[in-house]
Structure 1
């Protein structure tokens, strides 16, 4: 199984689950503790955005035709999925969009 996750380099300091060490450890756990991992022989986590800044991610998304209005980065969205606009992730995202132009 191949799974993708959208962590990126700028989040390393504030969000431990964005660190390469966490991703590697989670992959090991998924292979040991899930039926899919045991039966398939390998679950792989892919982190294609890990080395990109928020601005680079925005630019890449635009190049790929991604509707970025359907994505959020918020760690505390409302029950309806509306970003709070105040948390670190929301602020980093806004800065990334501003830098991307």
Structure 2
């Protein structure tokens, strides 16, 4: 949510509204046989914070990307908004993004 860059479904307001919809529009919610709780443990972290946390947990970021327009071989384009946010997050965290080609 800190740097969602125009993706409104990453905001706390959206998550809260979606949780309400899930409670109103599902059998579980309508019959009161369960309670919906959407957990968003990373929502208040910056991209750099998320990357640092992943590094501490041993995430292999070379197996991930955030690209909305990947190249034909599946690698990230490096230019879309999502790629740019990820690149900036890696830089701020002090790491190189292993998903980007460095030819």
TM-score of the aligned structures, taking structure 2 as reference length: 0.74
Compare relative contact order (CA 8 Å, sep 6+) and give the higher one, 1 or 2. 1
Other-structure match for 1:25: 17
Q: Which runs of 5+ in 2 are unaligned?
A: 95-103
Alpha-carbon separation, structure 2, partners of 1:93 and 1:55: 8
Alpha-carbon separation, structure 2, partners of 1:18 and 1:78: 25
Q: Which runs of 5+ in 1 are unaligned?
A: 1-7
Post-superposition Cα deviations, 1:25-58, rounded to whole Å, max 9, x if no partner, equal 1111122223454565112111111111111111
Alignment size in residue pairs: 93
Change in 2 beyond 3 A, CA 1:64/1:41: same
Q: Which structure has greater strand proportion? A: 1
Alpha-carbon separation, structure 2, partners of 1:19 and 1:29: 16
* Map 1:22-101 → 2, pairs under 5 A: 22-38=14-30, 40-77=33-70, 81-101=74-94
TM-score of the aligned structures, taking structure 1 as reference length: 0.76
Other-structure match for 2:98: none
Q: Which structure has greater helix proportion? A: 1
**Higher-Rg member (1/2):** 2
